[in-house]
Each structure stands twice: as structure tokens, then as C-alpha cells.
Amino acid sequence: MGYQIPRGTQDILPGTVEKWQYVEKKAREICSRYNYKEIRTPIFEHTELFLRSVGDTTDIVQKEMYTFTDRGERSLTLRPEGTASTVRSYVENKLFGLPQQPTKLYYIGPMFRYERPQAGRYRQFVQFGIEAMGSDDPSIDAEVMALAMDVYKELGLKRLRLVLNTLGDKESRKAHRDALVAHFEPRIDEFCHDCQNRLQTNPLRILDCKKDRDHDLMKTAPSIHDYLNDESRNYFETVKSTLTAMGIDYVIDPTLVRGLDYYNHTAFEIMSDAEGFGAITTLSGGGRYNGLAEEIGGPATPGIGFAMSLERLLLALDAEGVKLPIEDSLDCYLVVMGESAKEKAPSILYQLRKAGLKADKDYMDKKMKAQFKAADRTNAKIVAVLGDDELANGVISVKEMESGNQTEVKLEEVTQYILNQI
Ligand code: HAM
């Protein structure tokens, strides 16, 4: 038996790849409307970057990274997400010094996490994400959420839920953290091994534990909302009122915590409520990360962003039965009969293509009937037939498939004729 694709990865074949191209195009289009510019960073980074940013107590860093040592003995990691690299690049390239601030960036590219594969969860997946750095104006929080929702809505999704929370600033988080430790500590031995470790390293993550989610202490755990200082509360209120004024629906979930350490203030996820979407209902997630740039050696910089995987987006489109308007047809298929015609065909085809037409012909020495069938399969708008007789008369027969109209055109005029028809 030959080789098989690695677990948790996918081949995206013609027939499906058009959907990817379509949603990528839509994402780029919406980014350009919101004035976000594309950034492309390497697929691997120094491992240390992710330890510092994503956080060394997170599942991503502890269990999911593809880390390797290169031939120069450096520890490198395939990026598990895009925020760390984007902020690293922002700092390294001093983008904060550019006149136009905030710096608004987007990326589309593969990310890698060693997770247990299932529908909607892969080891290589493509994230589309945006990052806005340099502003702590709450209206940019609303902008980031609006952009994410626009991508889904404009592609035709309806069963969407924007779930919003605040994690507060450093001071609020510290107060909440202390309250969480005091809450769980007396009975921590009733929790799983991971939660026991999390108690001191990252107690907020206990709230996100799948194994212990039904424990009665989970329901009574202190909420961040009771520990917000005035500044954090006001910030959250403004984010909410801005969303409301923009007409964007949301629900507040005080238990929403994100799986990465760099967040503060705004945190959000967009969920799919479509039936049959499967066990994983989160389509995208994001939030504010003031302090991350500083953490990795840059100037104090507020930032906010989100990321969605295109895999989950496409699953949601399937679950809601959305058919993307993908047009995949040729302008012209050239049917060729006879030896002289066969010799002439490549130069005619080349002419059509140079003129910008999507055109093809047979290369498998097919009989005429099979060539017409092949033309049919390509949904060609025009089928041009070139036989030795036509060639001898300097003409080519051109059939417009929708109307069925057929006419003979002079060979030297065929390109212009087809251009006029399309
Ligand atoms: P995240 O919640 O870890 O956040 O991932 C964001 C999105 O990436 C998820 O909602 C999901 O759509 C997709 N995703 C994550 N893991 C997988 C997987 N194994 N298979 C398929 N899709 C997956 C981040 O990555 C942050 N960097 C988001 C962000 C940007 N926050 C601020 N800026």
C-alpha cells in the first residue's frame, strides 16, 4: 500500500478548492472594506515566542505544539495560531512607528496543533484572522466583532451567536484569580489532575475544564463580573453599547474564558446554532490582548483581534445548506478532427487564452463524440469545432451552447467573435 495523508490533515481537491478560494476572496474583500492589510509571517517561529505569548500553562503549549530542533540546534515550532507571530512582526518591524495607527492587519494561512482529530478539529487547519494594534478605543473591539460577523453573514450563514465576555484588566483579573483559588482550593482533590495543576498556575482555566464541568463548585464559582474595577466595567459597557448601536446582536456569557493566556478585557466567540453542525460549535474566537507586545519585548501596545478556521466556516455552510455561487466553466472548448486541424489547434487555443478567454481542448486523442462529452463536462459556453474541411476553407464552426446557435467564423476572427459572445 502507498502512503497515506498524516492524521488530522486534509487534501483539498479541485471541486472543493473553489469553495476555499471563494471564502478567502470574501474575507479579503471585507478586510479591505474595513481597511485591514495583509501580513504574511513564517509558518515556524522560535518556540520561546509561543511560550511567552500563548502561555506556558495552556493546553496549546503543553500538549499541542509541533516543536522540533533544527540542524542549528534551535528549538522551532510550527505556529499554532497567528496572533503571536503578527505581534512579533509588529514589534520587530517597528510598525508602531508608522504614521497610520492603529496598525490593522489580517492573515490567512495554515496553523498546526497536535489535537485529537474530529469533525471541525484538525492538526493542520487554515485560520483567517485579524489583529488591530495600537488603540484601546472600545469602538475597535466592536469593529473586530462586526468584521467577523460580516464574513459569516455575507457568505449566507444565519444561525450565528456572538458570545461576549470581559476578562477585566490586570487588577480585576488578579482579584478574580484570588477568589477562584479560595473557592476551589478546599475541594481541589475532587477535581481532575489537570485542574489540580491549574489551581496555582492558571485557575481561570478550571472553568473551561471538560471533565469537571458538572462539579457543583463550577456553578457557584466567583464571576469576573463581581471583581471588575470601574475602568474595566466602563470599558465593557462601552463595547456593549457600541455593538448595540451598530445593530449587532450578542449574548453575555460570564463563564467564557479563552484557551490562550494573553487576553484581557474583551473576549468573544462566535458559535453556530445550526443543527447537525457537530460537537464543536465554536466558529471563531478572539479578544483584547493589551500587554502582549510588551511581554515579547515591544512597547506597551493595546491590541485586539480574532481568528476563525476556514474548515469550520465551510462545515457551517454545509450544515446550513448554503450553496456558494461558484462559477466554474470554460468560455470555449475546442473540438478537433483530422490531422491538419490537430496541428493547427494549439495555436488557436493559445490565441484564445492570450485574449483572456478560459479555453481548453482534448489531449487524449478522443473521438469526436467523446470530445463533445468532455466539452459538456467543462460547462463550456462555446464549443468551437475545427475539422480539416473547415481548416481548408479558413473557417471554424462556433456553437453557442445556451442558445444552440451555430455559425461559421473566419479563423482569423474567431478570438474576437468569441470575446463578443461571452
Ligand atoms: P483560538 O480560539 O485558539 O484563538 O482559535 C481560533 C479559531 O481557530 C477557533 O475558533 C477555530 O475556528 C479555529 N481552530 C482552532 N483550533 C482548530 C483546530 N484544531 N481545527 C480547526 N480549527 C481550529 C486563536 O487562535 C487566537 N489567535 C485568536 C485571536 C486573534 N485572538 C486575538 N487575535
Q: Kindly state the average pLDDT of the residues 170-181.
A: 93
Does 286 sit in the ligand 1 pocket, CB within 6 Å?
yes
> Which one, of 251, 223, 234, lies nearest residue 167 by Cα?
223
Determine whether the annotation assigns residue 400 to a binding site: no
Whole-angstrom Cα distance, residue 312 to residue 280?
Answer: 9
pLDDT confidence tier of residue 209, bands split at 50, 70 and 90: confident
To the question of pTM greater than 0.85 for the whole model, the response is: yes
Do the annotations mark residue 333 as ligand-binding?
Answer: no
What's the chain's average pLDDT?
Answer: 95
Q: Residues 162, 251: contact at Cβ < 8 Å?
A: yes
Residue 328: predicted pLDDT = 86
Does the Cβ of 106 fall within 6 Å of ligand 1?
no
The reply to whether ligand 1 has any atom less than 6 angstroms from the CB of 83 is yes
pLDDT at 259: 84
Q: Domain extents for the chain?
A: 17-169+229-319, 332-421
* Residue 419 CA, ligand 1 centroid: distance in Å: 45
Does the Cβ of 80 fall within 6 Å of ligand 1?
no
Which architecture characterizes domain 332-421 according to CATH?
3-Layer(aba) Sandwich (3.40)
Q: Is residue 77 scored above 90 in pLDDT?
A: yes
- pLDDT band, very low/low/confident/very high, at 202 (cuts 50, 70, 90): confident
Q: Top-level CATH class of 17-169+229-319?
A: alpha beta
Residue 7 scores a pLDDT above 80: yes
User: Residue 233: in which H helix or E strand, if any?
Assistant: helix 230-246
Summarised one tens digit per residue, pLDDT across range 285-307 is: 999 999 999 999 999 999 999 99
Mean of pLDDT values over 55-60? 89
Query: Which atom number of ligand 1 is nearest to the Cα of residue 121?
Result: 20
Alpha-helical runs (H) found in 130-187 = 138-155, 170-184
For residue 120, which atom of ligand 1 is closest to its CA?
21
